[in-house]
Amino acid sequence: MAAAAILDLDPTHERAGRVLEDIVRLEQMIFPEHASPARSLRDELKRRNFGLVYSTPGAGGEEVAGYAVYTCNTSLCATIIELAVRESCRRQGHGEALLRAAVERCRGRRVQRVILHVDPARTAAVALYRKAGFQVDATVEGYYAPQRDAYRMFMDLQ
């Protein structure tokens, strides 16, 4: 894989609108049950505790290969809300790079623990999180929908 470029989404940058639209399309393909319009993400990006990193296939790539959304709720805990990689870009290191970048952004804010929720049926995602050092804390019944649970996973940053 050519080195993925990991970038923070700056809502004031001239390309931000196009990048955000690409992220929303990607989110709708990967998580069709979600309804997260670009406007909602634009509003969230204005908050100090919210962050979005994205990757491109290479140094000058125009297409978004993947993204991670996180929020630093308190000085004690941050949450990775979403991490997704375009199907054609999977198994190329984008997910690992995005996860590492999101965790490092949280570490930079002196957060002590990062949590996330993942569908146990998404075995590749669970394996990625475990490889990065996340541990399953609990199974949350009905997290996504009735009969659709989630693992709550965490990583301590101390």
146 within some domain: no
Which CATH number fits the domain that encloses residue 16? 3.40.630.30
The predicted-structure confidence for 105-147, as pLDDT tens digits, reads as follows 999 999 999 999 999 999 999 999 999 999 999 999 999 889 8
pLDDT greater than 90 at residue 37? no
Say whether pLDDT at 62 is over 80: no
User: What predicted TM-score, i.e. pTM, was given to this entire model?
Assistant: 0.84
Tell me which residue range forms the domain holding 69: 5-113
Any residues with CB less than 8 A from the CB of 46 and at least 6 apart, and which?
11
In a domain, 130, yes or no: no
Q: Using one digit for the tens of pLDDT, what is the confidence trace for 69-113?
A: 999 988 799 999 999 999 988 898 999 999 999 999 999 999 999
Indicate if the pLDDT at residue 35 is higher than 70. Answer: no
pLDDT at 158: 77
Most confident of 19-28, 30-39, 47-56, 121-130: 121-130
Residue 5, CB half-sphere, CA atoms under 13 Å: how many? 12
Query: Considering the domain boundaries, does residue 151 fall inside one?
Result: no
Give a yes or no: residue 158 inside a domain.
no
Residue 1 pLDDT level (bands cut at 50, 70, 90): very low
Residue 98 lies in a domain: yes
Domain assignment of residue 131, yes or no:
no
Domain count, the chain: 1
Query: How far apart are the C-alpha atoms of 144 and 84, rounded to whole Å?
Result: 16
Whether residue 54 contacts residue 66, with contact meaning beta carbons closer than 8 Å, is answered with yes
